[in-house]
Amino acid sequence: MTIAEIENCFLYGEGEHKRIFGSISTDILKEITQVFTAEPNLKNNCFEVSRIGDVEGYQRRAMPSRQNLFGRYVTEHEGEFVSPPVLLNARGEWEFVPSNENKNVGKIIIKDRANIIDGQHRIGGFIYAYKKNEKKVKADFVAFLNISLEKENEIFDTINTTQKGVPPSLSVRNRQEIQENRVVKMLAENSSSPFVGRISMTGTMLPEVKFQAAQFAKNIKRTFDDGAFKESKLSDEEMFDILCECWNLIAKTYPDQWEIDKPKKDMDYKLLELTGLIAWSLVFQKRLGQYFNADERTIDFTALEKAISRAKDVDWSKDGDFEGLTGEVGGRQISNKISFEMQSSK
């Protein structure tokens, strides 16, 4: 029994490697594909099967939240979304019928579901998007006509153990529509920045690099999380200037701990590690808004410098008061100590 047909497909390859290239309308996507899963999830947007004959499934458990996020992206970028083709195994259930003009161009007659080898979260996203707005779009695919389930599993394993994702910092560099990404690029490249040449925009950690761009972007967003800044809608240049001045005050307060020119592996203090970046960003998240004049769009840096100087005795040494505490945990504990000292009367 035929359950669907897909026109305008292209056949390529020989023998076991015969595969079809084409596009599937999202209104039939759930009816003609399935996830051969080892970990069923009732919330999966895709159809699931955990056993075919005497063979058990191999796909990892779906993350519906990830599917839905991609579905929202498809909906919000209708007509201009970007998605790589999904990879399928038609299992001998899709028949290619060539056109009269070209034996490699034709249609597919579909009798049963194809297994999703790579792309269950993209397919789940397309299904989610269609369910939400009932607007049909095209999902590109490459389908092997009939490889064994063993070979299918092998291809899945190869894809997921040899591919390397895009480094988060490279995504920051590439996605300049996001404000904190633009600001961190300025901090990394502008000669007036205290961090010029010390932030990796590609993910490569050279000896002189202190931070990844993705780490810094996250903490820039955190720094300006106060409602006063959100209402004022600071420009990139205003954010950049405020960050430069704040960190110059920190450098002035802790001259010995400001190891900006020392290779990361040789540093003795946490100040210019991710822990220090997190600590000060948390402090600014809670306190920087107190020094901000929204009407004049300026920070009272004189008052801020006095407050920061009250915390000049905070121990930043790696083997000191916060030994062994790093990342978010260490940053939060150090930020609490800084905040306490900043509001003291000494």
Q: pLDDT tens digits for 291-326?
A: 999 999 999 999 999 999 999 999 999 999 999 999
Is the distance from CB of 214 to CB of 169 less than 8 angstroms? yes
Residues 35 and 94 in one domain: yes
End-to-end CA distance of the chain: 84
Residues 42 and 83 in one domain: yes
Is the distance from CB of 155 to CB of 117 less than 8 angstroms? yes
Residues 290 and 172 in one domain: yes
Cα–Cα distance measured from residue 238 to residue 235, given in angstroms and rounded to the nearest whole number? 5
Asked which of 162, 177, 201 is the last residue of a domain, the reply is 162
Cα–Cα distance measured from residue 257 to residue 279, given in angstroms and rounded to the nearest whole number? 14
pLDDT of 290 reads 94
Residues 78 and 213 in one domain: no
Mean pLDDT across 210-230:
94
Tokens found for residue 77:
């970028």
pLDDT of 159 reads 85
pLDDT of 163 reads 66
Phi, psi of 310 (to 5 degrees): -70, -20
Question: Which amino acid would we find at residue 179?
Answer: Q
- pLDDT higher than threshold 80 for residue 338: yes
* Domain count for the chain: 2
Q: Which helix (H) or strand (E) holds 116?
A: strand 114-118
The candidate with the shortest Cα–Cα distance to 37, out of 55, 61, 53, 54, is 61
Cα–Cα distance measured from residue 294 to residue 219, given in angstroms and rounded to the nearest whole number? 22
| pLDDT class of 101 with cuts at 50, 70, 90 | confident
**Mean pLDDT estimate for the chain:** 93
Residues 207 and 192 in one domain: yes
For the chain, percent of residues with pLDDT exceeding 90? 81
Residues 106 and 142 in one domain: yes
Asked which of 114, 140, 162 is the last residue of a domain, the reply is 162
pLDDT of 328 reads 96
Residues 155 and 173 in one domain: no
Residue 237 neighbours by CB distance under 10 Å: 10
Asked which of 162, 177, 194 is the last residue of a domain, the reply is 162
Cα–Cα distance measured from residue 10 to residue 106, given in angstroms and rounded to the nearest whole number? 7
Lowest mean pLDDT among 56-60, 125-129, 315-319: 56-60
Residues 158 and 181 in one domain: no
User: Does the reported pTM lie above 0.75?
Assistant: no
Lowest mean pLDDT among 67-71, 159-163, 168-172, 248-252: 159-163
Phi, psi of 144 (to 5 degrees): -65, 135
pLDDT of 318 reads 96
| pLDDT class of 164 with cuts at 50, 70, 90 | low
Residues 153 and 176 in one domain: no
Please list, in sequence order, all residues whose beta carbon lies within 8 angstroms of the beta carbon of residue 332, skipping any fewer than 6 positions away.
Answer: 278, 279, 282
pLDDT of 346 reads 54
Lowest mean pLDDT among 38-42, 167-171, 195-199, 275-279: 167-171
Task: Calculate ∠ Cα 295-240-192, nearest 5°.
Answer: 125
- pLDDT higher than threshold 90 for residue 30: yes
Give the range of the structural domain holding residue 312, as residue numbers without chain letter: 168-342
pLDDT of 157 reads 84
Residues 126 and 188 in one domain: no
pLDDT of 160 reads 78
Lowest mean pLDDT among 63-72, 126-135, 153-162, 192-201: 153-162
Question: Which amino acid would we find at residue 17?
Answer: H
pLDDT of 272 reads 97
pLDDT of 165 reads 66
Please list, in sequence order, all residues whose beta carbon lies within 8 angstroms of the beta carbon of residue 119, skipping any fewer than 6 positions away.
Answer: 84, 85, 86, 87
Is the distance from CB of 217 to CB of 277 less than 8 angstroms? no
Residues 142 and 228 in one domain: no
DSSP for 220-265, please give it.
Answer: HHHHT-SHHHHHHT--HHHHHHHHHHHHHHHHHH-TTT--TTS-GG
Residues 334 and 187 in one domain: yes
Cα–Cα distance measured from residue 110 to residue 159, given in angstroms and rounded to the nearest whole number? 26
Cα–Cα distance measured from residue 278 to residue 328, given in angstroms and rounded to the nearest whole number? 7
